Structure 1
Amino acid sequence: MASFECDQAEGLRRLLAGPRPRIVTFLSAALPSEKSAMLVNLGASLAESGREVALLDACLSEFGIARRMGVDLRATLLDVSRQQRALDQVLHTMPQGFHLVSLAAGSRGALSCDADQLRRLSNTFNVLAVQSDVVIADAELDDSDDLPLAAMGEGDIVIQVTPAADSIKKAYALIKRLHMRLGCRPFGVLVTGADEQEADMVYRNLAQVASRYLAVRLFSVGSIPNDEQLVRAARLGRAVVDAFPRAGAALAFRRLAERFATPDAAMGVGI
């Protein structure tokens, strides 16, 4: 079995040899089904473009991406940090072309680590990041408005929102909570289930309110239209870029993937 030390050494070699890995943390103000559809299709679109993609389930609720996909990930990054597993044992290759990995299993108490254990878990996450071209983290804020790992707050954070009034209200609440914890820094906004005109209106309204009341700057990272082909692809257990490559949603996901795959794209902290 490959050792954790070997994983660390390989990660360090990649870090020194190539550009900084992309870490994008998603928080969602959409329904769980809408969130999972977005994450799966974005991961598949990035993989289609030739990127090595790790989709990390950093949620400790029933709405995490692994549970939504029906995958039981009992071996986790937390196990790797405890040297109970090797990194390659917790990476599950999915039919959509990306790797699926879980941060920790069980309830929120699973991440109630002491300082040394949390440091080891953070180091393990960094190893995952440098061995991937892009890490997409499916995350939630805890009761203290913290992200699961500090490194997620240091990278790019994107809020998924839909045109529904409840979703817009929830998105603003997420931005406010992030601002109180992380201070004045930019956040990305991805509008799903909307055409370009409607998405632009949702983004501009959010950006205006966040700027006026929080002094927070938002960036639009794009939009995904409401497309029946997304639903049909999901029923087939496939990504829309694979099942219906000419669908409007497929084109939108390819544009989104291109943005996240570009090292020097101008948005937020790391994008």
Structure 2
Amino acid sequence: MASFDFDQAEGLRRMLQGPRPRIVTFLSATPEDDKGAMLVNLGASLAQLGNDVLIVDACERDYGVARRLGLSRAASLASVARQECGLNQVLHPVPQGFSVATLGAPQRGGPAAGVETRRLAKTFDVLVKQAGIVIVDGELGPDGEFPLPLMASSEIVVQVGTSAVSITNAYALIKRLAQQLGRRPFGILVTGATEAEAKVVYDNMSTAATRYLAVNLSSMGSVPADEYLHRAARLGRAVVDAFPLAGASVAFRRLAGRFALHAMPGMSRG
């Protein structure tokens, strides 16, 4: 009874607070360019379904979405946190139908570092409340942690390929996350794979994660290898726009439909 009463109180509290923004942080165990290409096409597919999509590039080392779209020199959220510009100056609509913002790096070391990180976290909180779906192009920092706490508490999806190296790296990444964040679900998106290949990759990873880490994985789907992805990229367009009948376009539309409707099991819906 006590547990039931607690659940009721928690449910009422969430209703009074209003809907939470849908935030999904993507990490990758694939070559650096794969994640950026995937996120551009996923963002475009979600936008075609009528979603308000914001992609936040939180990469310092990897080849992030902002750099891919030529926005890496634009003002960042860190600039807003330092009161160097306004929030509207860091939101950049792109032709693919979504908006892009760059997180930027807070100052590290010294007494001001903690203050700046807290300001950046507050700026990010304000930003995500203005968007429908927030996709974070993420990476772990040198300390193995996310740059902001809200990313750690968001839905987390790991992109993996079919190679043994990619699968091994993805499993090691999930193990690292589980050790830091505790038991919680993680999504798996398999790219460069047929549906049959993706099922084998996911099943093997899910079995190992359940047995050795006590972690539940959730399949987010798959995207096949497709030459039209590269052709669309050379045109500066999303594949779903440039080549709507391509196999990758079909996969991204299916992925976007599932993504927009469902949060991962165990995570809050936005």
- Deviation, 1:219, is 0.5
Name structure 1 gaps, 5 residues minimum: 1-14
For 1:87-114, what per-residue CA distance to the aligned partner results, in whole angstroms no more than 9, with x for missing partners? 1100111111111111005xxx745563
2-side partners of 1:121 and 1:268: how far apart? 27
Equivalent residue letter for 2:74? R
2-side partners of 1:19 and 1:62: how far apart? 32
2-side partners of 1:204 and 1:100: how far apart? 34
The alignment status of 1:219 with 2:228, answered yes or no, reads no
Q: Secondary structure at the match of 1:24?
A: strand
Count the aligned residue pairs.
Answer: 253
Q: What TM-score do you get using the length of structure 2 for normalisation? A: 0.88
Equivalent residue letter for 1:219? S
Equivalent residue letter for 1:270? S
Equivalent residue letter for 2:122? N
- Deviation, 1:48, is 1.1
- Deviation, 1:16, is 8.0
Q: Paired residue for 1:183? A: 182
- For the 8 Å contact 1:161–1:171, the answer to whether it is kept is yes
Equivalent residue letter for 1:104? G
Q: Paired residue for 1:8? A: none
- For the 8 Å contact 1:104–1:111, the answer to whether it is kept is no
- For the 8 Å contact 2:218–2:264, the answer to whether it is kept is no
Q: Paired residue for 1:48? A: 48
- For the 8 Å contact 1:219–1:268, the answer to whether it is kept is no
Change (3 A) 1:170 1:268: farther
If you compute each CA radius of gyration, which structure gives the higher value, 1 or 2? 2
Change (3 A) 1:17 1:125: same
Q: Paired residue for 1:267? A: 265
Identical-pair percentage:
56
Name structure 2 gaps, 5 residues minimum: 1-14
2-side partners of 1:199 and 1:80: how far apart? 41
Equivalent residue letter for 1:212? R
Change (3 A) 1:50 1:17: farther
1-side partners of 2:173 and 2:126: how far apart? 28
1-side partners of 2:115 and 2:136: how far apart? 23
Equivalent residue letter for 2:192? G
Q: Paired residue for 2:25? A: 25
Q: What TM-score do you get using the length of structure 1 for normalisation? A: 0.87
